[in-house]
Amino acid sequence: MSKFLKKSTLTVGGIAAMLVVAFVQETAADQSAPYNLGREALPEEVAAWDIDVRPDGKGLPVGSGDVFTGEEVWIEKCASCHGDFAEGSGRWPVLAGGIGTLASENPVKTIGSYWPYLSTVYDYVNRAMPFGNAQSLTDDEVYALTAYLLYSNDIVDDEFTLSNDNFLEVEMPNTDNFYPDDRVEVEMPLFSVEACMSDCKTDVAITMRAAVVDVTPETDGDAEVEEAAADVEATEEPAAVAEVAVVEVAALDMELVAAGEGAFRQCKSCHQVGDKARNRTGPMLNNIVGNPAGSVEGFRYSGPMEEAAAGGLVWTEEELGAFLTDPRGYMQGTKMTFRGVRKPEDIAGLIEYLKSFEAD
Amino acid sequence: MTEQFKGVKPSRRAFLRGAAAVGGATAIGTSAAAEADPAITQMKPWNQFLGEGVDARPYGMPSKFEAHVRRQDVPWLTADPISSVNFTPLHEMDGIITPNGLCFERHHGGIAEVDPAEHRIMINGLVDRELVFTMEDLMRFPRENHVYFLECAANSGMEWRGAQLNGCQYTHGMIHNVMYTGVPLRLLLEEAGVKTEGKWILPEGADASGMTRSIPMEKALDDCLVAFKMNGEALRPEQGYPVRLVVPGWEGNMWIKWLRRIEVGDQPWHHREETSKYTDLLGDGRARRFTWEMDAKSVITNPSPQAPITHGKGQTVITGVAWSGRGTIPRVDVTIDGGVNWHQARMSGPSMDKSMHRFYYEFDWDGSDLLLQSRAHDSTGYVQPTKDQLRAVRGLNSIYHNNGIQTWFVNSDGVAENVEIS
């Protein structure tokens, strides 16, 4: 309602009639709007900014998206920071896994293990992600990504489609484990007692020193600021890992392995190797060279891969080389939607690198 | 940087002070100097030659000898400096007011550079009139001035498992205390007319993180401010220019910067910053939510690892700051022997509700090892607990709201270190 504008464009002839209207409006406004400042927001203005979503579904737009589409958008727009399976890459936030860790020494708080409401995922991705290009996703893309994040947290299966209709049916595993601040009841009485002033204890010993941990700003840690408490442990890990690696790769061509490690970056969006490797978009790739194809436990292979496995395919260096050069040419219908390794010289390195993840 | 961080290398200023002390009085007390002090006997350039004129520094900056006084970040804490934090150099400050350029920063999508002419504040949702204000409109409401501390809920969060970072800038520097000028949020809400079902508000920022938090209506109508000035000048961009929300005594994340919208609703939104973040995971795997108030807390800022004692034994000043989200700080106790005996510190400077307080404890140091702690008492009678008392209630995974008593070990050389004691 633009009464200020109206007033300034009054014609002399219309002044009496308009004044009556303005007077009526202003007395009405005066009673309720004490200062009569600002103007009323237009519906399209409210719609442009009011994008928030609540646990009861208020604010959800009409739309839908499935896990498969979500994965495609994810790989394109999210995986570079959060990892292909939302497992986090580097120090970027981990969004999947961690179920059952909340009471442990190293809780992993993810959408699956921690977040109480699905609406929070929709709202946050929609308002703030991808980092650096906020509010660029379509509603259906946000539904699809939300579906994908549910899938990567094992909350739904890969056939799942999320929409405004079934949104409230999804149950988040950790919903019931939050309760309102009770410090006033639990802590205030405990800590509101007379303080001792003299001879309060008999002996005092230093039990912990920051100098021992020595986490100078240059130290390469592994945590988000809020999660930094866990860093005491994180700083100790690299030494142990390095030791293991030395033992394992003793018989390998280290130069090739190093080259392969670089080339493996093209695979990392789908495959994991090493100690904590899990199946992601692709199977984990420990013990792959020289072993039967299609045999990683718990991974759902494509029909053609299963057939090849039943037919006795073994990942010899030759077979592997052929597969990696042109996966879909080598095996029509494979789930490995990867264009193939472009540079032939990378193949040897990749194979050597994969060999370094063989348990003995 | 590394050395200064470890607390072995005094700051440049401390060094200068130390040098002066050596030149001036090596013996204890006010004995005569062996040699004349060149600081007195030699002419300095500034004694003789003219300095810059009044047109040289239209916006004044600190002396070049204070260049080490600056916010610092800890790169390993976050993946990226854009969603990250830096820390207020508490050990270089005195009094209770934080200068604008030293106020720690925490943002989630970088510093938004908002043009005030293109900035609007909208109130929508359960109100009689959904309204839009320009900055100019905002300035026409009655204003108030208040000094409040803003502390990040994760301040000292790195210390839950034990002493980690050597310097009160890092252990306690996610706090600042400034005078805000702003319009009571109540007036804006009254202007829109909150419907009776309106029990919560959702303030939202205009930055690339679109920051949002749910705040109960009771608090919104009580003492929240929509502020546009800090310490008398416009908010700094990194503090939400041109306008931010002030939520006195409550965790800093709720003080939405670059405030552009306030929605009124009948229930909380449970957005990311009040579910994934800023909920306190306890030992049993359950989590407290809506832990808004900041518990009473204090820290000795000098001496501390970045600010060792450089003058040797004798007259020594211990100082620090204390604050509480529940009121004022009528009293702080200080111990120099690790908590065997405590002394009531001297409070100095204005004591204001939900503002920082400054305390001092002066004593004659005999040069022996010190275990320094401070303990705040707030106006509700709450006494700052030890870290172990807190851990007994909350476990180690809480991250947020660590207000436990801080210990500095100071050796006979005056070097200070972050430790924990029995």
**Checking phi first, is residue B310 left (phi over 0); if not, alpha (psi -120 to 50) or beta?**
alpha
Share of chain A above pLDDT 90, in %: 54
Total domains in the fold of chain A: 2
- Indicate which of B136, B164, B408, B415 best probes the interface with A, i.e. most A CBs within 10 Å of its own CB: B164
Residue A96 lies in a domain: yes
Question: Which ranges of chain B have pLDDT less than 50?
Answer: 1-27
Report the alpha-carbon distance of residue B286 to residue B293 in Å, rounded.
19
Answer with the one of A177, A208, A237 that is the final residue of a domain.
A177
Residue A285 lies in a domain: yes
Answer with the one of A155, A177, A199 that is the final residue of a domain.
A177
pLDDT at A319: 92
Residue A133 lies in a domain: yes
Report the alpha-carbon distance of residue A190 to residue B404 in Å, rounded.
14
Is the preceding omega at residue B303 within 30 degrees of 0, hence cis? yes
**B348 shares contact with chain A (CB less than 8 Å):** no
Residue A332 lies in a domain: yes
**pLDDT band at residue A214 under the 50/70/90 scheme:** low
Structure token pair of residue A83: 């990892």
State how beta strands B200-205 and B215-216 pair: antiparallel
**B79 shares contact with chain A (CB less than 8 Å):** yes
Residue A236 scores a pLDDT above 50: no
Sheet (strand A39-40) strand order: A39-40, B131-134, B120-125, B259-265, B200-205, B215-216
pLDDT at A298: 84
Three-class SS state of A119: helix
Residue A104 lies in a domain: yes
User: Do B403 and B297 touch, CB atoms closer than 8 A?
Assistant: yes
| Higher per-residue confidence, B162 vs A214 | B162
Three-class SS state of A168: helix
Structure token pair of residue B42: 């030699």
Is the preceding omega at residue A43 within 30 degrees of 0, hence cis? no
Question: Chain B window 119-138: which residues touch A at a Cβ cutoff of 8 Å?
Answer: 122-125, 128-134, 137
Report the alpha-carbon distance of residue B416 to residue A85 in Å, rounded.
45
Report the alpha-carbon distance of residue A129 to residue B208 in Å, rounded.
9
pLDDT digits over B2-37, tens only?
333 333 344 444 444 444 444 334 445 567 888 999
Report the alpha-carbon distance of residue B237 to residue A131 in Å, rounded.
20
**pLDDT band at residue A31 under the 50/70/90 scheme:** low
Q: Specify whether A55 is located in the same domain as A172.
A: yes
User: Do B373 and B341 touch, CB atoms closer than 8 A?
Assistant: no
Report the alpha-carbon distance of residue B139 to residue B136 in Å, rounded.
5
Q: Specify whether A172 is located in the same domain as A73.
A: yes
Phi, psi (degrees; rounded to nearest 5) at B340: -75, -55
Is the preceding omega at residue A130 within 30 degrees of 0, hence cis? yes
**pLDDT band at residue A222 under the 50/70/90 scheme:** very low
This prediction's pTM: 0.75
Phi, psi (degrees; rounded to nearest 5) at B400: -90, 165
Q: Which domain, by its residues, includes A267?
A: 254-355
Report the alpha-carbon distance of residue B176 to residue B87 in Å, rounded.
9
Q: Among the listed ranges A49-53, A188-192, A293-297, which one has the minimum average pLDDT value?
A: A293-297
Of the partner residues A178, A216, A228, the one whose CB lies closest to the CB of residue B158: A228
Distance from CA of B281 to the nearest CA of A (A): 8
pLDDT at A86: 83
Q: What is the CATH number of the domain that holds A111?
A: 1.10.760.10
Structure token pair of residue A22: 């303005």
Instruction: Give residue B220's identity as a one-letter amino acid code.
Output: A
Q: Specify whether A173 is located in the same domain as A261.
A: no
- Indicate which of B133, B269, B298, B380 best probes the interface with A, i.e. most A CBs within 10 Å of its own CB: B269
Instruction: Identify the residue whose tokens are 């419907």.
Output: B195
pLDDT at B29: 54
Residue A205 lies in a domain: no
Domains defined along chain B, listed by start: 72-288 (3.90.420.10), 297-419 (2.60.40.650)
Distance from CA of A58 to the nearest CA of B (A): 9
Report the alpha-carbon distance of residue B132 to residue B192 in Å, rounded.
10
Residue A324 lies in a domain: yes
CB atoms within 10 A of CB A139: 17
**pLDDT band at residue A269 under the 50/70/90 scheme:** low
- Indicate which of B77, B118, B335 best probes the interface with A, i.e. most A CBs within 10 Å of its own CB: B77
Residue A224 scores a pLDDT above 70: no
Q: Specify whether A160 is located in the same domain as A273.
A: no
Answer with the one of A153, A177, A201 that is the final residue of a domain.
A177
**How many CB pairs lie under 8 A apart between chains A and B?**
302
Q: Calculate the average pLDDT of chain A.
A: 81
Q: Specify whether A157 is located in the same domain as A273.
A: no
Report the alpha-carbon distance of residue B314 to residue B29 in Å, rounded.
8
Q: Furthest-apart CA pair in chain B: how many Å? A: 80
Report the alpha-carbon distance of residue A255 to residue B348 in Å, rounded.
66
Residue A208 lies in a domain: no
